[in-house]
Amino acid sequence: MRSLVAVGLVLLMSGCAGIEPGKSYPSDTFIVPITYQEAYRRAEAQSRDCAPPVTLSTSGNVYIDNRTAVLRIGTPNIPNGDLIRVETRAISDDEAKVSITVANKGIFDREQMRAIRQSIESGRSVCRASKDVSIG
């Protein structure tokens, strides 16, 4: 946990921007047999359980009218400060499409993306995935 806080502090002090519009970042899109709200809740729970609260903030919205949700994990008060973005969309009443994008800076990389995917698919928080888990 101490290394997570240190990485977050380094990112804050360096003034690094997160996910910026129009740029390419590692991402993964997959379908899960749960509602879009449940996928959002699982991603949010993973963030609460695993992200260092001292350096990161989590915010999000659930849009009932178009059955989508967006979760943002990042550095507060920095433009384009999202380091992780999880977007969910209902495909049916009991199936959702999930897209995870990471800034690919420090610990906000493909392994973290795998951990979020494992957390959403399994319903239990995984803070750092093993490298043998494949992503799309």
User: What CATH number is attached to the domain comprising 87?
Assistant: 3.30.310
Low-confidence ranges of the chain (pLDDT < 70): 1-16, 52-54, 79, 130-136
Asked if residue 50 is part of any domain, the answer here is: yes
Rounded CA-CA distance 76/56 in Å is 7
Count of structural domains, the chain: 1
Asked if residue 62 is part of any domain, the answer here is: yes
Asked if residue 129 is part of any domain, the answer here is: no
Asked if residue 128 is part of any domain, the answer here is: no
Range of the domain at 38: 2-122
Asked if residue 130 is part of any domain, the answer here is: no
pLDDT, position 134: 55
Query: pLDDT tens digits for 22-52?
Result: 889 999 999 999 999 999 999 999 998 987 6
pLDDT, position 58: 87
SS (H, E, C) 61-85: EEECCCCEEEEEEECCCCCCCEEEE
Asked if residue 38 is part of any domain, the answer here is: yes
Asked if residue 134 is part of any domain, the answer here is: no
pLDDT, position 136: 55
Asked if residue 77 is part of any domain, the answer here is: yes
